[in-house]
């Protein structure tokens, strides 16, 4: 067994060297982001699903830290350490360990400590071309290791964002729907709530407080909530601050004073999320879906179509690519095009590679403005398992 383990490590290292040679030959700078990262930052940006799987600890000085659950956020931090504004174009590649708790079972395709070989591109001017270039390079790297048969699954959160922006609703409702997108049951529940006048009424908020709060004067909310808590003899217990409580109560009051979302609009959103099929058919299907509502997502659909054409021009066949409108991967920092590379031997729950566009992440990490960014990583243990002809 010891000899097999050594052979496995050697095979992974040889594979990593081929991957990194492909990346560096394409002009990506090889970097080594830190393994230990600030936990607060990670837990804020990666989303609820991955947050529960992150290994968090406190050092002797009381600082909360984590073992990196992916290498994208550490690479963003590295880029900002070099270029604080984040707007300097740069392309990085890396290979290293990431750490995630694996619910259920741990096996060679789902280890707690696993390796990622990946690329990140920041501040490129042409988003669609950069999306296509990143995916094309990942496909080239997979082929260089000997993987020639794989399936491509894609989504586009930019289409969802454009649809929500085209519908008449308060901005906070759009924000909530985007937040719940990665949790289908919560997404549907929020849609149902927004269409119900009764469900929009504030529950558990005293009537006198509701009547005194004015959503148009958010600066008064903190004082009014503090005054109410004081009169009621209630102390702040738990993790929510007074500002957070005031913001939540004010949002409930504002919701109660809004007309409910048109049920036809909710049905349209549900119909969009249900769209699945060949990627090349998506533009026509979405145009057919939106036409009766006189909603035009022309520029966003044109970007979608152009990206597919660019992928073809760069050697990535999109004829068999499968599109799913509800596909957003499991990291909530994505904002646009997303994809996964699936090998039938491992199945759709164990993609060999994945990535996408995350134009808001650098600002979340510390940049002064949003910066175009796209990246992808290869799960090298899964790649090795697929090449060996077996899945764990």
Whether residues 156 and 294 fall in one domain: yes
In a domain, 197, yes or no: no
Indicate which CATH number applies to the domain containing 374. Answer: 3.30.930.10
pLDDT of residue 1: 45
Whether residues 116 and 38 fall in one domain: yes
In a domain, 174, yes or no: no
Range of the domain at 245: 207-256
In a domain, 264, yes or no: no
Whether residues 285 and 241 fall in one domain: no
The C-alpha torsion from 65 through 71 and 73 to 76, rounded to 10°, is: 120
Whether residues 142 and 223 fall in one domain: no
In a domain, 170, yes or no: no
* pLDDT (mean) for 374-386: 95
CA–CA separation, 13 vs 9, rounded Å? Answer: 6
In a domain, 94, yes or no: yes
pLDDT of residue 83: 97
Instruction: List pLDDT tens digits, range 63-89.
Output: 999 999 999 999 999 999 999 999 999
Which of 164, 158, 162, 163 has the alpha carbon at shortest distance from 176?
Answer: 164
Confidence of residue 240 (pLDDT cuts 50, 70, 90): low
Whether residues 115 and 43 fall in one domain: yes
What total of structural domains would you count in the chain?
Answer: 2
Beta pairing, strands 64-67 & 36-38 = antiparallel
pLDDT of residue 391: 38
User: Exposed e or buried b for every residue in 43-62, given b needs 16+ CB within 10 A?
Assistant: bebbbeebbeebeeeeeeee
Whether residues 235 and 305 fall in one domain: no
pLDDT of residue 229: 66
CA–CA separation, 31 vs 91, rounded Å? Answer: 10
* pLDDT (mean) for 90-94: 98
* pLDDT (mean) for 178-198: 93
Instruction: List pLDDT tens digits, range 350-370.
Output: 999 999 999 999 999 999 999
Among 122-131, 199-208, 294-303, 333-342, the least confident range: 199-208
In a domain, 91, yes or no: yes
Instruction: List pLDDT tens digits, range 269-291.
Output: 999 999 999 999 999 999 999 99
> Considering the entire predicted model, what is its pTM?
0.88
Whether residues 92 and 225 fall in one domain: no
Angle of helix 298-313 relative to helix 282-290, nearest 10 degrees, comes to 170
């Amino acid at each position: 067994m010891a000899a097999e383990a050594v052979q496995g490590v050697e095979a992974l290292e040889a594979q990593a060297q081929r991957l990194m040679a492909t990346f560096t030959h394409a002009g990506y700078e090889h970097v080594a982001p830190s393994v230990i990262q600030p936990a607060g930052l990670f837990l804020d940006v990666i989303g609820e699903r991955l947050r529960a799987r992150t290994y968090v600890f406190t050092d002797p000085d009381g600082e909360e830290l984590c073992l990196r659950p992916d290498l994208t956020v550490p690479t963003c931090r590295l880029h900002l350490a070099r270029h604080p504004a984040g707007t300097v174009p740069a392309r990085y590649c890396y290979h290293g360990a990431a750490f995630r708790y694996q619910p259920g079972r741990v096996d060679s395709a789902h280890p707690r400590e696993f390796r990622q070989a990946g690329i990140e591109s920041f501040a490129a001017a042409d988003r669609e071309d950069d999306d296509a270039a990143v995916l094309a390079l990942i496909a080239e790297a997979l082929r260089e290791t000997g993987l020639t048969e794989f399936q491509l699954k894609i989504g586009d959160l930019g289409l969802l964002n454009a649809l929500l922006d085209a519908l008449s609703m308060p901005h906070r409702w759009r924000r909530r729907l985007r937040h719940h997108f990665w949790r289908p049951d919560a997404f549907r529940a929020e849609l149902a709530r927004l269409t119900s006048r009764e469900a929009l009424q504030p529950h558990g908020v005293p009537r006198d407080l509701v009547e005194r709060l004015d959503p148009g004067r958010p600066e008064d909310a903190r004082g009014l909530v503090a005054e109410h808590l004081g009169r009621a003899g209630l102390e702040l217990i738990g993790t929510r601050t007074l500002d957070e409580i005031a913001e939540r109560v004010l949002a409930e009051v504002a919701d109660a004073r809004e007309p409910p979302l048109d049920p036809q609009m909710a049905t349209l959103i549900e119909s969009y999320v249900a769209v699945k099929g060949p990627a090349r058919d998506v533009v026509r299907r979405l145009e057919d879906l939106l036409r009766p509502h006189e909603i035009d997502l022309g520029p966003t659909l044109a970007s979608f179509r152009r990206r597919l054409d660019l992928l073809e021009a760069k050697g990535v066949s999109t004829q068999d690519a499968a599109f799913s409108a509800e596909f957003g991967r499991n990291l909530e920092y994505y904002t646009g095009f997303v994809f996964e590379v699936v090998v039938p031997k491992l199945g759709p729950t164990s993609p060999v590679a994945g990535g996408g566009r995350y134009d808001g992440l650098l600002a979340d990490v510390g940049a002064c403005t949003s910066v175009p960014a796209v990246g992808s990583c290869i799960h090298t243990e899964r790649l090795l398992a697929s090449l060996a002809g077996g899945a764990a």
